[in-house]
Amino acid sequence: MGIYEFEGKKPKIGKGVWISESADIIGDVIIGDKCFIAPGARIRGDYGSIEIGDETSIEDNCVVHARPNEKCIIEDNVTVGHSAIIHNCTIHSYAVIGMGSIVSDYAVVGKWSVVGEGCVVKNKQVIPDEKIAVGIPAKIIADVSEEYKAQWTKFKNIYTGLAEKRYPRGLKKIRD
């Protein structure tokens, strides 16, 4: 795992966070409690700052970055899917960002919203609360149902369990 100070800025990591050995966290980064930072994730607070809330999952090979002197905010209980790019935007609590998607500069993803796999949320685009967006560029296609929220709450709890218990206890390196 690479946790790096950059020009006097040191990451702040909350309690119960699991960070893969192959993830890098650089500079002005705050990570809340019980987060899961998967293999290959890159969270770069080198010339901008990054705030990640509690119980958020940043999955494999994600990139999180911000513009100079600006901020990228990912709130609580967010799932950022494999290989997503999150750049200088705001993602509100309980959102799901699909695998391989891009959320670009100054975009806002609302609470409980879903950005589908491979979707592009373009510069300054807003996805309102509880909406499902897909495509390039992102287009809203549906509302998030209560059934969906219940299902994703279970999935989000799996990642919290991985961070708090399963990975710290069960992950054993067997070969270099």
Burial class of residue 154 in the structure, from the number of CB atoms within 10 Å of its CB (0-12 exposed, 13-18 middle, 19+ buried): exposed
How many whole angstroms separate alpha carbon 146 and alpha carbon 7?
45
Amino acid type, 141? I
pTM: 0.95
Domain chopping of the chain, boundaries: 2-170
Amino acid type, 109? V
Burial class of residue 71 in the structure, from the number of CB atoms within 10 Å of its CB (0-12 exposed, 13-18 middle, 19+ buried): middle
pLDDT tens for 117-166 read 999 999 999 999 999 999 999 999 999 999 999 998 888 888 888 888 88
With beta carbons less than 8 A apart as the criterion, state whether 93 and 76 touch.
Answer: yes
CA dist list (Å): 126 to 106, 108, 131, 133: 9, 5, 10, 10
How many whole angstroms separate alpha carbon 43 and alpha carbon 70?
14
For 9, the token pair is 């800025």
Q: b or e along 126-145 (b: 16 or more beta carbons within 10 Å of the residue's beta carbon)? A: ebeebbbbbeeebeeeeebe
pLDDT of 158 reads 85
- The CATH fold of domain 2-170: UDP N-Acetylglucosamine Acyltransferase; domain 1 (2.160.10)
- Given a cut of 50, the residues of the chain with pLDDT beneath it are none
With beta carbons less than 8 A apart as the criterion, state whether 164 and 34 touch.
Answer: yes
Residues in the chain: 176
